[in-house]
Structure 1
Amino acid sequence: MVQTLGNAFKSGRIHHAFILTGVRGVGKTTTARILARAFNYVDESGARPTLDLSKEGAHCAEIVAGTHVDVMEMDAASNTGIDSIREINAMTRTPPMSAPYKVFIIDEVHMLSTSAFNGLLKTLEEPPPYVKFIFATTEIRKVPVTILSRCQRFDLRRITPEVMTGYLGGLLEKEGVSVEPEALSMIVRAGEGSARDCLSLTDQAIAHGDGKITTQAVRDMLGLADRARVIDLFEKLMGGDIGGALDDARALYDSGADPTTIIADLAEFTHLATRIKIVPSAAADPVLTPDERSRGAELAQKLSLRVLTRTWQILSRGLGEIAQSGNGLQAAEMVLIRLAYAADMPSPDELIEKLTSQPDAPTTGSAPGMPMPNGGGAQARAFAPVPQSQPQAQPVSQPRAQAVALPDPRSYDQLVALAGEKRDILLKHALESDLKPVTFETGRIEVALTPTANPSIVSALSAKLKDWTGRPWMVTVSTKPVDAPTLREARQAAEQSERNAALEDPMVQAVMETFPGARLVNIKTRSQHDDAEGIVDGFESDSPDMEDDE
């Protein structure tokens, strides 16, 4: 915004309407007043729009105080109707009394009614050269496109934690109020980038702490759980210590933490650990407490991304369960129990990997020593030990597990079946509908493409076959025209042939004549020993005479 307006002021091409959007408390209205000063800046050298406001201009004091006759502010939340817009339209017909421009600041502009927006359109489209409009809103999507298209839009971001921490720290120093660093971090985090929210919370914390802001006072004021205790609870859950986790959760509840807050704080720490695992520099966030910074990085290194994402899913689902439950504490405890049991449970692919990596692992699922899923936490063993009553196998005589045999299609039909087994629906559809087999040998396939086929399917098929079979496959496209049908076309032709044969059957024809409106819906083939080509399985009819017949 500074760059855009600075260049506009230099060139003298200043737009007539601006819209500022952003969350609450990021300075939209304050910025609008600063822009009004910038438009109407006058010093001893004359009127000149500028962003350098270090020296107070002739109109600056009145604009800041809100008493300047040529700068008008309107709250659209309390002036939503067309009458207020008519007053603005009337005022635009007269030039400013003392300042270079008449500036209209409309706050929460999205609250205007449809008729009010329509009444503003004409003036906004062709305003007098001495009029500037500045709109502010937190709901930019509720502003009609016809208004937005006539404005220069500037999105004001949330205030960063670093800036907000320095801002609040400077104010408290001027006020002579001592504050603990962790307490200040809690306020900044709760403010969510809004200066107004942070100021309100800071003022409340000063009153709550009787002139001194402490971590415990802010925690009690916000109803937060102790961050260190939340991390202790998280560690016990990840370690499978269900009893200790329930005791910690009960202690947090007894100290005033809401069950929803406990689960939400666990989810927040899970997100933090996941973020640090992916972006290690996230641990340097100044809003984090020392415990979150150090222990979060440590847990992010220990826990896998799979465990963290599964933990997040369980906690997120648990928040909904607590909201719907009549007893929030009981619902929260059930969430914690589920989380503790699932924390170290291996996924199916991890279990298979552990199975195949054990040289002495038996091939049957009921034999002693079978690897079992671990639902009891990190301290539990992932595999059950061999019972001492069973004779121990000698390593020298125990045969090693055989390598898993890879599929090796011997025909085009087997290739289509392999694609189905691998659940590659797109490739299976292409093999049936877009490719025509010409020759098929182990490691080499020649096909013809239909006019609608995607040429990239050839390289994709070669890559898939190499992954599935463990050997390279050469897939080539025939340069000669091929009249043979695709598998789908051949199957459809066979089905149509069976249908035509069935319709020519005398018995079928007799049924169709007896029950007008009957339709042949299915054909089933008899077993080969019946020595018959087919049998009609069912009819449908619109005739009431056939309601009980088939």
Structure 2
Amino acid sequence: MENNRKGLSLKYRPQSFDEVIGQDVMVQIIKNAIKMDRIPNAYLLTGIRGVGKTTTARIIAKAINCKNLENLENLEKKCDGFCHCEAITNSNHIDVLEMDAASKTGIDDIRELIDSAKYYPTSAKYKVFIIDEVHMLSKQAFNGLLKTLEEPPPHLKFILATTEVKKIPLTIISRCQRFDLRRIKLEEMLSFLKRISEKEKAKINDKALMLIAKASEGSVRDALSILDQAISTFNVLGEEITEVSVRTMLGIADRSRIIDLVRLIIDGKKEQALEESQEIFDLGADPKLVLQDMLEVIYLISRSKSFGKIENDLTVSESESDLIFSLSKDIDFSYISMIWQFILKGIEELSFVPNYFLSFQMLIMRLIHLKDLPSPEQLIDDVLSSDTVGISESNEQKDDFNEIKPGTIINKQTSAKTQIKSVTQEKTEEIDRTPKILEKKKELENFEIINSFEKLVEITNHKKEIELKFDLERNVRVVKFEKGKIDISFNEKLSKNFVRSLTEKLKLWTGERWIISLSKETGKSTIFENKEIYKKKLLHEALESEVYKKIKENFPDAELSDVEEVK
């Protein structure tokens, strides 16, 4: 009776290697190492939540201390009364210490651990330290652990587990044998849930199990927790667990309705799309989960557009596959990409708006109008194509140019249907483009327009090019400045790479090649010198002012050291 009171995630926690699902490669490597007595000093187990890191750590601790090594796959079934497996399973073995690094992060906790490592195990072959969420340790704690981790006593083994391996110092990782526990595949998770449902005699259909498997996102613990919740919610009342009931319980909208919502958005039917989103929300669906489902639909549309109708995919029904395939025909990749980016941004914005539904509805309206927006390439083409001349061919096109009627506008970028544009025409069009259009093109391409030396200094400051800015202000005198060319003189403090660096930056910022020439002429004063001259002028005026004279009368020892201009 005691075992039945446990949640499913605890009740069906793997106790041996043969019960671990989805990690076949790791299991085989560890088993072979134990059989050959090539056990490393430390293991590092990484992966998302619920894939079996702590469980695997306990199984390893049992395996290296078990007296029946020939039966590694079934540790629990073959052990006699003098084995250590049962005590390790119940987390009460004196030689296997489990430490939660999330609550014990300091150097004092690690020092206590290292001090206890000096002593031999009381009964087991190895003393095992299992450190869970090891990435939570402080820098000092990691440093304290380093030496012992590299050269532990022969009787000591470490097993580290973490969900965020990037936060662990490389010096620690390099001293461990690392295993990355992967997410459980959908087919493996579905098969596992079916076995558990049969053992629990749960009334649940395959579609509901499939939905639970998808909602778990590869985490066994999450899948078992959702299944346990569904059994407690519906089977107790004698109801069969269906896909609809699981969606209601989790706040997930029906995917067919999500596909319909995406179709209405693509078709630009604003009123119907808003009504559909309202109905989905009224059913209790979580807006964030709805947006995640929309992302999945967008992915399936792009996949269908690239590779044809979706087949052999357990996650997509035949009717859904038909709907997605029909949608993929009427949409291009640029629009798909824009929808994807807008939905991703919408998911981020949900955390900033107290009312999720308002943000969700606003995103739907933006997506509907998104199709009407021109692409950046189209904007450039439209600007360039607006350069026109005041003549056009008549409706009845003739070879004789005398038939051309004056005063009619023609688009120079578009040739007559029966005429092939010559190289001479293209050259002429290139020359005839007005500076205004080229400036507009530059704006669209995010290029800078630099028309003075002061503007150049301002841009270097904005781009955080500190060394360039310093040289331009203090070490460079302008002799002549014009578009595409700068003549300068300089002092001995100028950086060696100044000319090359400035030329590269100007090409990057303006999209054009600039020439920086060094002149023998003296040139104008530097910006810094001008600032100093102006500052001295302000200081002199302040010293001659009536305010300063009155202050001096009352405070004879006062000295004016600096002046700032108030803008």
Is the helix fraction higher in 1 or 2? Answer: 2
Is 1:519 the counterpart of 2:525? The answer is yes
Q: Assess, with a 3 A threshold, how the Cα gap between structure 1 residues 292 and 542 changes in structure 2: closer, same or farther.
A: farther
How far off is 1:265 after superposition? 3.0
Contact 1:238 1:344 in 2 (8 A): no
Residue 101 of structure 2 corresponds to 76
Matching residue of 1:154 = 179
Q: Is the 8 A contact 1:237 1:343 kept in 2?
A: no
- Match status 1:170 vs 2:170: no
SS for the counterpart of 2:78 is coil
Kindly provide the amino acid, as one letter, of the partner of residue 238 in structure 1.
I
| Deviation sequence 1:45-98 (CA, Å, 0-9, x none) | xx6795675962342333333344433333333444455444543443333343
Question: Using the alignment, how far apart are the partners of 1:352 and 1:208 within structure 2?
Answer: 59
Matched, 1:56 2:62: no
Matched-pair contact (CA < 8 Å) for 1:230–1:266: yes
- Tell me whether 1:144 sits opposite 2:169 in the alignment: yes
1:135-193 alpha-carbon deviations (Å, 9 max, x no partner): 11222233333332321111111111111111111111221112233322222222111
> What secondary structure is seen at the aligned counterpart in 1 of 2:57?
helix
Mapping 1:136-535, distance limit 5 Å? 136-211=161-236, 212-278=240-306, 284-325=312-353, 327-343=355-371, 347=375, 349=377, 400=417, 403=420, 406=423, 492=517, 496=519, 519=525
1:216-264 per-position Cα deviation (integer Å, ceiling 9, x unaligned): 2211211122211111111111112222212212222222234444444
- TM-score by structure 2 length? 0.62
The alpha-carbon deviation at position 546 of structure 1 amounts to 7.0
Checking the alignment, whether the CA contact within 8 Å between 2:309 and 2:321 is kept in structure 1 is no
Larger deviation, residues 81-90 vs 185-194: 81-90
Rounded Cα–Cα distance in structure 1 between residues aligned with 2:130 and 2:340:
44
What CA distance in whole angstroms lies between the structure 2 residues aligned with 1:210 and 1:52?
Answer: 33
Which consecutive residues of structure 2, in runs of 5 or more, have no partner in the other structure? 1-25, 405-415, 448-483, 486-498, 501-512, 539-567
Q: Is the 8 A contact 2:41 2:150 kept in 1?
A: no
Deviation at 1:277, TM superposition (A): 3.6
Deviation of 1:204 after TM superposition, in Å, equals 1.0
What is the 5 A alignment of 1:93-132? 93-132=118-157
Letter in 2 for 1:254: D
Secondary structure at the counterpart of residue 123 of structure 1: helix
Unaligned runs of 5+ in 1: 368-391, 426-431, 434-451, 454-486, 504-517, 522-538
1:18 aligned to 2:24? no
User: What's the counterpart of residue 542 of structure 1?
Assistant: 533
- TM-aligned CA deviation for residue 362 of structure 1: 12
- What residue is the counterpart of 1:32 in the other structure? 57
2 CA distance for matches of 1:202 and 1:227?
A: 20
CA distance in 1, matches of 2:191, 2:37: 36
Alpha-carbon distance in 2 for matches of 1:326, 1:40:
54
Q: 1:10 to 1:232 in 2, by over 3 A?
A: same
Residue deviations 1:292-315 (CA, integer Å, cap 9, x gap):
444334433442211211111222
More displaced, 247-256 or 24-33?
247-256
Counterpart amino acid of 2:62?
A: R
Q: Relative to structure 1, is the Cα distance of residues 363 and 80 closer, same or farther in structure 2, using a 3 angstrom cutoff?
A: closer
Identity %: 40
For 2:281 and 2:245, the matched residues in 1 are separated by 17
How many Å separate the matches in 1 of 2:153 and 2:70?
18
CA contact (8 A) 1:274 1:300 kept: yes
Distance change (3 Å), C-alpha of 1:282 and 1:84? farther
TM-aligned CA distance change 1:89 to 1:282, over 3 Å = farther
Contact 1:121 1:147 in 2 (8 A): yes
Secondary structure in structure 1 of the residue aligned to 2:123: coil
Counterpart residue type for residue 102 of structure 1: K
